[in-house]
C-alpha cells in the first residue's frame, strides 16, 4: 500500500448534489409528471390466506374517468430471479393480508381511489400459516406448487411439499467430534420481528409501454435500475434492450428498493391503457402493509466451549419467516451460510439457514442483509456463554475472533488485509471504558435508586452477498473545457456514492474536485452496467472501475500527447490539467487541448473525443458448495464493533442510550463527512430495531400497525446522547485490492446495535433478553417478572 500523498481522498467535501436537495429542486419520481400520465391505485387483500373466488370490476369500470381495471387474470406474469414464486398480481389465491388483488387506472388519483372501492371480490378463506413452527409442520402450504417453481439450481434448495423455500447449509469439520471435545454445551434461542425500511419517499413508479412494440420505459424510485430492467424483461417476456429504466433522485432505499417491486405492475397497467404512462405511488399505509419488510427470524444456537472459552463446535438453525414470497428472502437466507455465526474461528460447524413461507407480508433485502438478525443472536449468545463460563466477554471474544490464517465458516482464508476485528474490539473496549462485569450486589444496589446503568459491546462483520461474477463499470467523458463527467450504473440514493466516485476520479485525473461530476439520473439505455446498488460494495467495486477508467483516459491523452511532443507515452506524466514530460516539464499539453483530439497548426487533427471506460469484476469468488457451503463468497469484509453505555428507568422500562462508541476497520476513509453519515444513520436505524420497531399481527395475520401512528421510527429525541466513531485506517490491514485501501461501510453500522444494547441491558439489569424490541413495555415487564422471581 503506497503512502503517496492524496489530494482528494480523505477530504470531507460537501456532497455534490446538496444544493439541489436543500432548495427543493431535486426531482424524485414522487414529484414527476409525464405527458399523458394516468394514475393508478390498488386494491389489497383483507385476508392473509384465501382463494379468490371472483372479482367483479364492472361497476369500477363504469365510473367516469376510469380507463382500466386490471386483475390477476391480466397480470399473471411471474416476477423473480432466484425463487420465481410471485405473480405480478395475486392470481388464484392471496397469500398475505395486504397483497395486491386488483388495480385501477384513472384520470386522477381521486377517481382511481373511488373506483377501487367499487371492485367486488369474493374470497374463500384458507387455513392461515401463522408462525414458523406452523409452517414447518407443513400441514398447510403457502405454495402448493413450490417444486415446480423456476429457481437457481444448486444455489437454492426448495423442499417439495413443504413451506421451505430454500434450505441452505454450511458444513465444516465434524461437529460430533467437536461437541465431544467441549467441556460445556450451551443452547439458546433468539428471535426478532419483521420491521419496515421506511424510506421517506414511498415506493413509486411510472411506466410507459409502447403499444406497437415491446418497448417499455420506466421511471422508478429504485436502487438497482439494471436489476429492474432484467426482471421486468424476464417477467414480460421481452428483450432487456427493450426496457429502459430511469432513476432520478431517490428518497431512501435501505434495501427495500433493491429489487423489483411496482415496475412490472405499472408496465402491465400501461399496456392496459394503450401505452399511456401510468403512475403508481404507494401510500404510507401501503408501504407498510403491501411492500416487503425485513424477515422475522428465529436463531437457535448450540455451541460447544472448552472451559477456557474456545469454541469447539456449533450447530445453528437460522429460520427466516419470509412471509408469502421469497425471491429476495432466499438470498438473505443463503447469505447466513457464510457469516451467520459471527466473526469467529469455528473449527466445526453445521449451520442451517431455512427460508420459510408463512401468510404475512413478504420479506426482501434490508440494510445488513440478514447480518443484523444473525448477529443479534450470535452476539447475545457469546455474551450469555461468557456469563455462564464466568469469562469476561471481552476475553471470550478475543479468544475466538478470526485472525489471519483462520478460515471462516465457509472455509474462506483470512489474510491480514481481510481486516482486523481484534483492533475494532480493542478500540471500542478502551473508548467505552470497559472494566469488567458488574456484580449482582452492585446491580441490586443500583436498582433501588430506580435507574441502572450498563455497558455492553458486540462484534460485527459483513461481506457483500452477491453472485460470484458480479461486475460493475464506469464510463468517463471529457468535455471541451477539460471537465470530466463520470457515468455509473449504481444509484446514489443518499449514501453519497456519486460524491465518492467524483473524488476517486478527481484523485486519479489530478483535477480539481469541482471539475469532475458524476451524472445523475441513471438510465439503463445510457449508463454502464451495475448489478444492484446494495451490499456496501460500491466504494470498492465502483471505485476500482472508476480508477481504471481514469487510467484509460490518461493513457489516451498520453498517446496523443506523445505524438505531438514527440516522445514515448511512458515518458509522460499528468497533473494540474496538463500531460507533461516527466523530466523536461515545459514539454506539455493541456487536457483542454487534448479533449476533442489535437489540432496541429497546419490543421491536421489526430486523436478524438476522450471517452474512457473501466470495469471491475469481483475477483476470485466461488459458488458455495451446495452441500457444505464451502467456497469463497466474500469479496470484501468489513469488521467492526459497537459499544453501548446506557441507563434504564426500572419503573417505566425506558432505555436511555447515553453513549455509542463504534469502531470499523474501514481501511481508508474516502470522505469522513459521508462515512460519518452512514455511521450515524446506521446506528440510529439500529436503535430503531433495538428499542422501537416491530410488526404486530392479529390472530388472522392482519397487520395491526400499518401507520406511522403505531409503527414508529426514531425521531430526533430517540437518538443516543453521544456517538463516537473510530475508523481504523491501518495500511497493514487495509483493503489492498480496493481504492486506496477502502472498504464498504453502508450497512455495517446498523449490524449488532441490538446485540450491543442487549448485552448492556444484561449488565444493567441482570436480565437476558432473547427477543426484540426493548420497548419500555417489554423491559418493564421483564424487570417486574425478574423482581418477582427473585423475591
Partner 1 sequence: MCSTAKKKGNCIEYTDSGLPKTAIRFEVNGDNFEKKVDPTMTLLQLLNNELKLFGTKEGCGEGECGACSIIMNGKAVNSCLVLAAEADGASILTVEGLGQGNKLSILQQEFIKYDALQCGFCTPGMLMSARSLLDRDKDPNDDEIKEAIEGNFCRCTGYIPIIDAIRSAAKREREELK
Partner 2 sequence: MLSKFEYVKPETLEEAVGFLGSHPETKILAGGTDLMVLLRRNLLITDHILDIKGIQDLDRLEYKRGEGLYIGATVRVNEIAENSMIQKKYRALHQAAGALASHQLRNRATLVGNICNASPGADLSSPLLVFNAKVHVQGPEGKRELKIEDFFTGVKKNALEKGEIVTGILLPEVNDGDTSYFKKQSRVKGHDLATVGISIRRTAEKETLVGMAAIAPTPIRLRELEKKLKNRDFNEETAEWLKVEIKHHLKPISDVRASKEYRFLASGALGKKIMMAMIEEGVK
Residues at the contact surface with partner 2, assessed by CB under 8 A:
110, 113-114, 117, 649, 651-654, 691-692, 696, 704-705, 709-710, 712, 714-718, 775-777, 780-781, 784
Q: Interacting stretch for partner 1, rule CB under 8 A, among 15-23, 510-518, 611-619, 778-786?
A: 15-23
Residue 302: in which H helix or E strand, if any?
strand 296-305
Partner from partner 2, partner 1, none contacting 780, C-beta within 5 to 8 A by type: partner 2
Nearest to partner 1 of 520, 616 (CB atom): 520
Partner from partner 1, partner 2, none contacting 318, C-beta within 5 to 8 A by type: none
Nearest to partner 1 of 64, 153 (CB atom): 64
Q: Beginning with the edge strand found earlier in the chain, give each strand of the sheet holding 484-488 in spatial order.
A: 516-518, 484-488, 471-478, 611-617
27 binds partner 1 (CB under 8 A): yes
Partner from partner 2, partner 1, none contacting 398, C-beta within 5 to 8 A by type: none
Partner from partner 2, partner 1, none contacting 710, C-beta within 5 to 8 A by type: partner 2
The per-residue b/e assignment along 305-331, b for 16 or more CB within 10 angstroms, e otherwise, is beeebbbbbbbbbbbbbbbbbbbbbbb
Q: Interacting stretch for partner 1, rule CB under 8 A, among 371-379, 616-624, 694-702, 706-714?
A: 706-714
Nearest to partner 1 of 215, 724 (CB atom): 724
CA distances from 454 to 63, 385, 436, 437 (A): 62, 18, 11, 9
Smallest distance from the beta carbon of 322 to partner 2, in angstroms?
A: 24
Q: Which residue has the cell 472494566?
A: 435
308 binds partner 1 (CB under 8 A): no
Smallest distance from the beta carbon of 110 to partner 1, in angstroms?
A: 8
Looking at 22, 586, 604, 788, which residue binds partner 1 (CB under 8 A)?
Answer: 22
Q: How far is CA 600 from the centre of its chain?
A: 52
682 binds partner 1 (CB under 8 A): yes
645 binds partner 1 (CB under 8 A): no
C-alpha 756/C-alpha 382 separation (Å) is 11
> What phi, psi does 601 have (nearest 5°)?
-60, -35
Q: How far is CA 175 from the centre of its chain?
A: 32
Partner from partner 1, partner 2, none contacting 555, C-beta within 5 to 8 A by type: none
372's CB contacts (< 8 A; 6+ apart) are 294, 366, 686, 689, 750, 751, 752, 753, 754
The x, y and z cell numbers of residue 365, run together, are: 433485502
C-alpha 295/C-alpha 196 separation (Å) is 9
C-alpha 458/C-alpha 85 separation (Å) is 36
- Residues 523 and 226: beta-carbon distance below 8 Å: no
Partner from partner 1, partner 2, none contacting 214, C-beta within 5 to 8 A by type: none
Partner from partner 1, partner 2, none contacting 30, C-beta within 5 to 8 A by type: partner 1
Looking at 643, 677, 754, 758, which residue binds partner 1 (CB under 8 A)?
Answer: 677
Partner from partner 1, partner 2, none contacting 654, C-beta within 5 to 8 A by type: partner 2
Partner from partner 1, partner 2, none contacting 681, C-beta within 5 to 8 A by type: partner 1
With CA atoms as reference, report the closest residue to 325 among 110, 603, 88. Answer: 88
Nearest to partner 2 of 229, 360 (CB atom): 360
Smallest distance from the beta carbon of 671 to partner 1, in angstroms?
A: 9
Smallest distance from the beta carbon of 781 to partner 2, in angstroms?
A: 6
Nearest to partner 1 of 493, 598 (CB atom): 493
Binding mask 198-217 for partner 1 (x = CB under 8 A): xxxxx---------------
C-alpha 411/C-alpha 407 separation (Å) is 5
The x, y and z cell numbers of residue 329, run together, are: 428472502
C-alpha 598/C-alpha 603 separation (Å) is 10
Looking at 178, 456, 496, 766, which residue binds partner 1 (CB under 8 A)?
Answer: 496
Nearest to partner 2 of 603, 709 (CB atom): 709
Smallest distance from the beta carbon of 34 to partner 1, in angstroms?
A: 14
Fill in the DSSP letter of residue 156.
B
Half-sphere exposure (Cβ direction) of 508: Cα atoms closer than 13 Å: 25
The x, y and z cell numbers of residue 174, run together, are: 465434524
715 binds partner 1 (CB under 8 A): yes
24 binds partner 1 (CB under 8 A): yes
Looking at 11, 61, 78, 284, which residue binds partner 1 (CB under 8 A)?
Answer: 284
The x, y and z cell numbers of residue 462, run together, are: 459483513
Looking at 494, 624, 631, 653, which residue binds partner 1 (CB under 8 A)?
Answer: 494
Partner from partner 1, partner 2, none contacting 113, C-beta within 5 to 8 A by type: partner 2
Smallest distance from the beta carbon of 766 to partner 1, in angstroms?
A: 30
How many chain residues are in contact with partner 1, going by CB under 8 A? Answer: 56
* Helices and strands in the chain, H and E counts: 19, 31
Strands (E), 150-295: 164-172, 184-192, 204-209, 216-220, 243-247, 278-281
Fill in the DSSP letter of residue 514.
G
Verify cis geometry, omega within 30 degrees of 0, for the bond prior to 732.
no
C-alpha 99/C-alpha 289 separation (Å) is 8
Q: Which residue has the cell 382511481?
A: 112
With CA atoms as reference, report the closest residue to 266 among 115, 79, 522. Answer: 79
Binding mask 332-371 for partner 1 (x = CB under 8 A): ----------------------------------------
Fill in the DSSP letter of residue 672.
H
The x, y and z cell numbers of residue 628, run together, are: 457444505
Partner from partner 1, partner 2, none contacting 14, C-beta within 5 to 8 A by type: partner 1
Nearest to partner 2 of 431, 654 (CB atom): 654
Alpha helix segments (H runs only) across 603-730: 672-687
- Residues 591 and 572: beta-carbon distance below 8 Å: no
CA distances from 276 to 62, 105, 211, 550 (A): 19, 10, 9, 41
Query: Strand 588-590 relative to strand 596-599: parallel, antiparallel, unpaired?
Result: unpaired
Partner from partner 2, partner 1, none contacting 264, C-beta within 5 to 8 A by type: none
Looking at 709, 788, 789, 790, which residue binds partner 1 (CB under 8 A)?
Answer: 709
Q: How far is CA 533 from the centre of its chain?
A: 8
724 binds partner 1 (CB under 8 A): no
Q: Interacting stretch for partner 1, rule CB under 8 A, among 13-21, 299-307, 313-321, 459-467?
A: 13-21
232's CB contacts (< 8 A; 6+ apart) are 216, 218, 243, 245, 260, 263, 264, 267
Partner from partner 1, partner 2, none contacting 626, C-beta within 5 to 8 A by type: none
Q: Which residue has the cell 418497448?
A: 215
Looking at 21, 124, 137, 307, which residue binds partner 1 (CB under 8 A)?
Answer: 21
Q: Interacting stretch for partner 1, rule CB under 8 A, among 76-84, 223-231, 476-484, 704-712?
A: 704-712
- Count of residues in the chain: 791
Nearest to partner 1 of 374, 499 (CB atom): 499
Smallest distance from the beta carbon of 672 to partner 1, in angstroms?
A: 10
Nearest to partner 2 of 719, 736 (CB atom): 719
Smallest distance from the beta carbon of 776 to partner 2, in angstroms?
A: 7
Nearest to partner 2 of 117, 555 (CB atom): 117
Partner from partner 2, partner 1, none contacting 596, C-beta within 5 to 8 A by type: none
Partner from partner 2, partner 1, none contacting 776, C-beta within 5 to 8 A by type: partner 2
Cα angle: 390, vertex 392, 398; to 5 degrees? 125
Give me the residues that bind partner 1 (CB under 8 A), please.
14-15, 17-28, 30-31, 65, 110, 197-202, 249-254, 283-284, 493-496, 673-674, 676-677, 680-685, 707-709, 713-717, 719, 723
Amino acid at each position: 500500500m503506497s503512502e503517496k500523498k492524496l489530494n482528494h481522498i480523505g477530504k470531507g467535501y460537501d456532497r455534490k448534489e446538496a444544493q439541489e436537495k436543500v432548495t427543493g429542486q431535486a426531482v424524485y419520481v414522487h414529484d414527476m409528471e409525464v405527458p399523458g400520465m394516468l394514475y393508478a391505485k390498488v386494491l389489497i387483500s383483507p385476508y392473509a390466506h384465501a382463494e379468490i373466488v371472483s372479482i367483479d370490476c364492472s361497476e369500477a369500470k363504469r365510473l367516469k374517468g376510469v380507463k382500466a381495471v386490471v386483475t390477476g387474470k391480466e397480470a399473471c406474469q411471474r416476477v423473480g430471479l432466484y425463487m420465481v414464486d410471485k405473480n405480478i398480481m395475486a392470481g388464484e389465491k392471496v397469500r398475505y393480508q395486504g397483497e395486491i388483488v386488483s388495480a385501477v387506472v384513472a384520470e386522477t388519483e381521486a377517481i382511481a381511489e373511488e373506483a377501487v372501492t367499487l371492485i367486488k371480490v369474493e374470497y374463500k378463506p384458507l387455513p392461515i400459516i401463522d408462525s414458523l413452527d406452523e409452517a414447518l409442520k407443513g400441514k398447510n402450504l403457502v405454495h402448493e406448487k413450490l417444486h415446480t417453481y423456476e429457481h437457481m439450481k444448486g444455489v437454492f434448495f426448495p423442499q417439495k411439499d413443504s413451506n421451505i423455500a430454500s434450505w441452505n447449509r454450511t458444513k465444516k469439520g465434524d461437529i460430533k467430534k467437536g461437541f465431544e471435545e467441549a467441556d460445556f454445551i450451551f443452547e439458546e434461542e433468539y428471535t426478532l420481528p419483521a420491521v419496515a425500511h421506511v424510506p421517506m419517499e414511498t415506493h413509486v413508479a411510472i411506466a410507459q409501454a409502447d403499444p406497437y412494440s415491446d418497448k417499455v420505459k420506466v421511471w422508478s424510485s429504485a436502487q438497482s435500475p439494471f436489476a429492474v430492467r432484467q426482471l421486468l424483461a424476464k417477467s414480460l417476456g421481452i428483450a432487456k434492450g427493450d426496457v429502459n429504466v430511469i432513476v432520478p433522485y431517490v428518497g431512501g432505499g435501505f434495501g427495500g428498493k433493491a429489487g423489483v417491486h411496482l415496475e412490472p405492475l405499472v408496465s402491465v397497467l400501461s399496456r392496459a391503457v394503450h401505452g399511456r404512462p401510468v403512475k403508481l405511488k404507494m401510500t404510507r399505509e401501503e408501504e407498510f402493509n403491501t411492500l416487503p419488510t425485513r424477515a422475522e427470524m428465529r436463531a437457535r444456537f448450540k455451541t460447544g466451549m472448552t472451559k477456557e472459552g474456545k469454541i469447539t463446535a456449533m450447530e445453528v438453525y437460522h429460520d427466516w419467516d419470509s412471509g408469502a414470497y421469497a425471491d429476495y428472502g432466499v438470498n438473505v437466507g443463503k447469505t447466513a451460510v457464510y457469516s451467520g455465526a459471527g466473526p469467529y474461528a469455528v473449527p466445526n460447524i453445521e449451520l442451517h439457514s431455512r427460508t420459510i413461507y408463512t401468510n404475512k407480508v413478504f420479506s426482501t433485502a434490508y440494510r445488513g442483509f440478514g447480518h443484523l438478525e444473525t448477529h443479534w443472536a450470535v452476539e447475545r449468545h457469546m455474551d450469555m456463554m461468557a456469563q455462564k463460563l464466568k469469562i469476561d466477554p471481552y476475553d471470550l471474544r478475543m479468544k475466538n475472533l478470526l485472525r489471519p490464517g483462520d478460515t471462516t465458516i465457509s472455509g474462506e482464508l483470512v489474510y491480514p488485509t481481510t481486516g482486523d476485528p481484534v483492533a475494532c474490539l480493542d478500540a471500542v473496549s478502551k473508548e467505552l471504558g470497559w472494566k469488567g462485569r458488574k456484580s449482582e450486589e452492585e446491580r441490586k444496589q443500583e436498582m433501588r435508586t430506580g435507574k441502572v446503568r450498563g455497558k455492553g459491546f458486540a462484534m460485527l462483520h459483513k461481506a457483500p452477498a452477491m453472485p460470484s461474477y458480479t461486475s460493475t463499470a464506469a464510463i468517463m467523458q471529457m468535455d471541451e473545457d477539460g471537465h470530466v463527467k463520470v457515468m455509473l450504473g449504481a444509484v446514489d440514493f443518499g449514501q453519497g456514492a456519486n460524491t465518492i466516485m467524483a473524488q476517486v476520479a478527481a484523485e486519479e485525473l489530478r483535477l480539481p474536485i469541482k471539475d469532475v461530476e458524476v451524472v445523475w439520473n441513471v438510465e439503463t439505455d445510457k449508463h454502464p452496467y451495475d448489478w444492484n446498488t446494495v451490499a456496501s460494495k460500491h466504494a470498492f467495486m465502483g471505485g476500482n472501475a472508476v480508477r481504471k477508467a481514469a487510467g484509460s483516459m490518461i493513457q489516451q491523452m498520453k498517446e496523443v500527447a506523445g505524438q505531438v511532443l514527440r516522445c514515448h507515452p511512458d515518458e509522460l506524466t499528468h497533473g494540474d490539467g496538463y500531460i507533461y514530460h516527466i523530466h523536461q516539464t515545459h514539454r506539455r499539453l493541456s487536457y483542454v487541448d487534448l479533449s476533442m483530439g489535437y489540432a496541429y497548426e497546419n490543421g491536421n487533427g489526430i486523436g478524438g473525443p476522450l471517452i474512457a471506460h473501466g470495469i471491475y469484476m469481483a475477483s476470485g469468488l466461488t459458488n458455495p458448495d451446495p452441500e457444505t457451503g464451502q467456497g469463497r463468497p466474500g469479496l470484501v469484509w468489513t469488521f467492526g464493533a459497537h459499544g453501548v453505555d446506557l441507563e434504564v428507568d426500572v419503573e417505566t422500562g425506558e432505555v436511555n442510550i447515553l453513549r455509542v462508541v463504534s469502531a470499523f476497520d474501514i481501511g481508508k476513509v474516502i470522505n469522513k463527512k459521508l462515512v460519518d453519515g452512514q455511521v450515524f444513520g446506521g446506528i440510529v436505524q439500529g436503535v430503531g430495531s433495538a428499542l422501537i420497531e416491530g410488526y404486530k399481527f392479529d390472530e388472522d395475520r392482519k397487520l395491526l400497525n400499518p401507520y406511522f401512528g403505531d409503527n414508529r421510527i426514531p425521531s430526533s429525541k430517540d437518538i443516543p446522547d453521544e456517538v463516537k466513531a473510530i475508523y481504523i485506517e491501518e495500511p497493514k490491514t487495509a483493503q489492498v485490492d480496493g481504492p486506496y485501501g477502502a472498504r464498504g461501510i453502508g450497512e455495517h453500522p446498523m449490524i449488532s446495535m441490538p446485540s450491543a444494547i442487549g448485552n448492556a441491558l444484561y449488565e444493567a439489569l441482570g436480565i437476558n433478553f432473547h427477543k426484540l424490541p426493548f420497548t419500555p413495555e417489554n423491559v418493564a415487564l421483564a424487570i417486574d417478572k425478574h423482581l418477582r422471581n427473585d423475591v
